[in-house]
């Protein structure tokens, strides 16, 4: 169903038409995006700057559009295994280069300069890990700055003095929206810059932009948008950059049912970024309130598992048999399904739930057990997709 706002409906159509189809992948590495950056460079309006290189020597590039006084900076894949927004920002730049101005004023280039750093952590991306080539989590390096990637980001912030900063990540697929049975496909945060979570005018603007983006996106995700916890973390970049005076916005791309490559979150990232860009110029976000922001339900960790076996009976042959829930999740960074939780799993929703009240497993299970073997023993192998 198309968006009731005709301009947003038209935007969605353009976003879909202009996606880089080759980026519809589960994971992205630097060789996946390098040819696209080269292709974008053909546009005379886009300026590409190599700002430095990663610990292991891969170039880190910044793509810039416009020459206005209002500076927007966005970066993606600071965590190497979080690629969704990398595809989204490349889609976004193509949209800005190729679409008719739509709701943007025709002279927007004179009002805004947009800088995008896609894939800040190419070494982590190459290994499909969170950390950089030193094994350091760049997002805990905002104070010490031992990583070349963290230093580059901080340098860019200091040089460019962005008004609005987008810190773009992926979150694990098991976050739920509040206590609902909906995965958090998008989670937003206007990070705190002080332990007391003060709201200055920059942070207020970030919260208003988030409330505005959420309002637009809620057409596609009426229950699927969450608000990330805003506990202050001095060593994290979002918090430090918020402290430098930028309206800083964290967007976490999350899971959506039947969407293993997170293409729903990718598409909605592009729409959110574009809506925010338009709002920065039109002021459309200014009639939202702090209450709108805090009205977004919380982002709940461990709200989901991949498969939930509900009330299965375990019988070790010695003790009294007992009934329990078993949650199965993909092991981190792998395609292997393993036992993640045994016990009372109320409040944890399975992307697939199996009523196992009639099933008895001879023997016990342990956390970390191979779930494929378990499902095989239960005769459920192949019952749920590929498992």
Angle between helices 84-98 and 30-41 (to 10 degrees): 10
Judged by CB, which is closer to Zn ion: 252, or 340?
Answer: 252
CA distances from 123 to 44, 91, 149, 174, 181 (A): 29, 22, 10, 26, 35
Distance CA 254, CA 170 (A): 6
- DSSP category for residue 202: H
187: which strand partners? 226, 252
Q: Determine, following the binding rule CB under 5 A, whether residue 262 of this chain makes contact with Zn ion.
A: no
Q: Which residue has the tokens 């202050």?
A: 232
Judged by CB, which is closer to Zn ion: 152, or 371?
Answer: 152
Q: Minimum CB separation from Zn ion for residue 298, in Å?
A: 18
Q: Minimum CB separation from Zn ion for residue 248, in Å?
A: 14
List of E strands, the chain: 46-53, 59-65, 70-76, 112-117, 164-170, 176-177, 186-189, 225-227, 247-253, 299-300, 304-315, 322-330, 337-343, 349-355, 360-362
Q: Minimum CB separation from Zn ion for residue 233, in Å?
A: 12
Count of all residues that appear for the chain in the document = 387
Judged by CB, which is closer to Zn ion: 79, or 308?
Answer: 79
Q: Are 154 and 145 in contact (CB under 8 A)?
A: yes
Q: Which residue has the tokens 């023993």?
A: 377
Distance CA 44, CA 189 (A): 34
- Report which residue's Cβ sits closest to Zn ion: 169
Q: Are 62 and 71 in contact (CB under 8 A)?
A: no
Contact mark string toward Zn ion, 79..98, x via CB under 5 A: x--x----------------
Q: Minimum CB separation from Zn ion for residue 189, in Å?
A: 12
Judged by CB, which is closer to Zn ion: 137, or 325?
Answer: 137
Binding segment (CB under 5 A) for Zn ion, from list 75-83, 277-285, 322-330, 362-370 = 75-83
With contacts defined by CB under 5 A, how many residues of the chain interact with Zn ion?
3
Judged by CB, which is closer to Zn ion: 187, or 312?
Answer: 187
Residue ranges in 338-367 that form contacts with Zn ion under rule CB under 5 A: none
DSSP-assigned letters across all residues of 29-80: -HHHHHHHHHHHHTSTTEEEEEEEE-TTS-EEEEEEE---SEEEEEEE-SST
Binding segment (CB under 5 A) for Zn ion, from list 27-35, 60-68, 71-79, 254-262 = 71-79
Contacts of 44 (CB under 8 A, 6+ apart): none
Q: Determine, following the binding rule CB under 5 A, whether residue 240 of this chain makes contact with Zn ion.
A: no
Q: Are 136 and 181 in contact (CB under 8 A)?
A: no
Judged by CB, which is closer to Zn ion: 77, or 288?
Answer: 77
What SS3 state is found at 219?
coil
Judged by CB, which is closer to Zn ion: 169, or 267?
Answer: 169
Distance CA 119, CA 135 (A): 16
Judged by CB, which is closer to Zn ion: 171, or 274?
Answer: 171
Q: Minimum CB separation from Zn ion for residue 79, in Å?
A: 4
Judged by CB, which is closer to Zn ion: 228, or 293?
Answer: 228
Q: Minimum CB separation from Zn ion for residue 78, in Å?
A: 6
Q: Determine, following the binding rule CB under 5 A, whether residue 169 of this chain makes contact with Zn ion.
A: yes
Q: Minimum CB separation from Zn ion for residue 277, in Å?
A: 22
Q: Minimum CB separation from Zn ion for residue 140, in Å?
A: 11
Q: Minimum CB separation from Zn ion for residue 250, in Å?
A: 9
Binding segment (CB under 5 A) for Zn ion, from list 40-48, 74-82, 267-275, 334-342 = 74-82
Q: Residues interacting with Zn ion, by CB under 5 A? A: 79, 82, 169
């Amino acid at each position: 169903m198309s968006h009731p706002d005709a301009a947003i409906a038209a935007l969605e159509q353009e976003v879909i038409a202009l996606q880089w189809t080759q980026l519809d992948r589960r994971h992205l590495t630097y060789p996946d995006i390098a040819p696209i950056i080269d292709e974008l460079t053909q546009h005379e309006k886009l300026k590409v700057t190599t700002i430095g290189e990663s610990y292991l020597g891969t170039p880190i590039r910044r793509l810039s559009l416009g020459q206005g006084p209002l500076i927007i900076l966005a970066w993606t894949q600071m965590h190497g295994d979080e690629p969704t927004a990398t595809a989204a920002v490349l889609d976004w730049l193509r949209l800005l280069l190729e679409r008719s101005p739509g709701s943007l004023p025709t002279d927007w280039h004179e009002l805004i300069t947009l800088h995008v750093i896609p894939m800040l952590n190419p070494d982590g991306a190459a290994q499909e890990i969170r950390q950089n080539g030193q094994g350091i989590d760049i997002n805990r390096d905002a104070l010490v700055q031992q990583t070349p990637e963290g230093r580059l980001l901080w340098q860019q912030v200091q040089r460019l003095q962005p008004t609005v900063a987008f810190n773009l990540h992926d979150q694990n697929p098991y976050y739920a929206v509040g206590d609902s049975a909906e995965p958090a496909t998008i989670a937003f945060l206007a990070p705190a810059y002080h332990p007391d979570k003060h709201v200055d005018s920059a942070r207020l603007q970030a919260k208003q932009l988030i409330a505005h983006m959420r309002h637009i996106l809620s057409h596609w995700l009426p229950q699927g948008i969450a608000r990330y916890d805003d506990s202050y973390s001095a060593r994290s970049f979002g918090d430090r950059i918020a402290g430098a005076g930028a309206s800083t916005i964290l967007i976490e791309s999350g899971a959506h049912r039947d969407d293993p490559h997170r293409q729903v979150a990718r598409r909605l990232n592009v729409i959110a970024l574009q809506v925010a860009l338009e709002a920065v110029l039109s002021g459309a976000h200014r009639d939202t309130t702090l209450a709108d922001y805090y009205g977004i339900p919380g982002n709940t960790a461990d709200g989901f598992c991949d498969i939930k076996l509900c009330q299965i009976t375990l019988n070790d042959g010695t003790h009294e048999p007992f009934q329990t829930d078993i949650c199965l999740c993909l092991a981190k960074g792998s395609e292997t399904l393993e036992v993640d939780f045994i016990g009372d799993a109320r409040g944890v929703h399975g992307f697939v739930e199996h009523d196992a009240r009639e099933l008895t497993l001879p023997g016990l299970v342990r956390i970390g057990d191979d779930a494929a073997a378990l499902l095989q023993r239960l005769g459920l192998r192949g019952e749920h997709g590929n498992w």
